[in-house]
Amino acid sequence: MAYMNAEHAKTIRTNLKTKFPNFKFSVTIRHHSAIVVSLLSSPLNFDKDITASGYNYVQLNHYYLENYEHTDTLKQIYNVINEGNHDNSEPQSDYTDVGWYINFHIGNYEKPYKQITSN
């Protein structure tokens, strides 16, 4: 059964800050079963993805990160979020067994993504 607690969310938040010091993230828990990570600002330009979404943010499909700009960086971020997670799901029998669900966004509804410039 999927489960996420505050302690594990804090660990993910700390790891993201350590590995991506120039990036700003929002890390929250939804329904004690999912981690929600929003990339709020960074030096990267995601204008193409955000414009294509029609909103001020993008809800990423983490199974197809190669469809977005800066694929390598997004995959590195996803690997930090997913570290220690398990996926013993069996799609053929409609059985889901994950450590926690992941919602990964660029920006969010309340705070659009902002590209920052390096000094």
Say how many C-beta atoms besides its own lie within 10 A of residue 4's C-beta. 22
Which of 48, 59, 43 is closest to 116 using CA atoms?
Answer: 43
Q: For the chain, what is the domain count?
A: 1
Q: Answer yes or no: is 117 within a domain.
A: no
Q: Answer yes or no: is 42 within a domain.
A: yes
Question: Model pTM?
Answer: 0.89
Which of 11, 8, 62 is closest to 39 using CA atoms?
Answer: 62
3-state secondary structure of 51: helix
Q: Answer yes or no: is 119 within a domain.
A: no
Domain region containing 47: 6-112
Q: Answer yes or no: is 25 within a domain.
A: yes
Encode the chain (119 residues) as per-residue pLDDT tens digits: 788 899 999 999 999 999 999 999 999 999 999 999 999 999 999 999 998 988 989 999 999 999 999 999 999 999 999 999 988 888 787 777 788 999 999 999 999 999 998 65
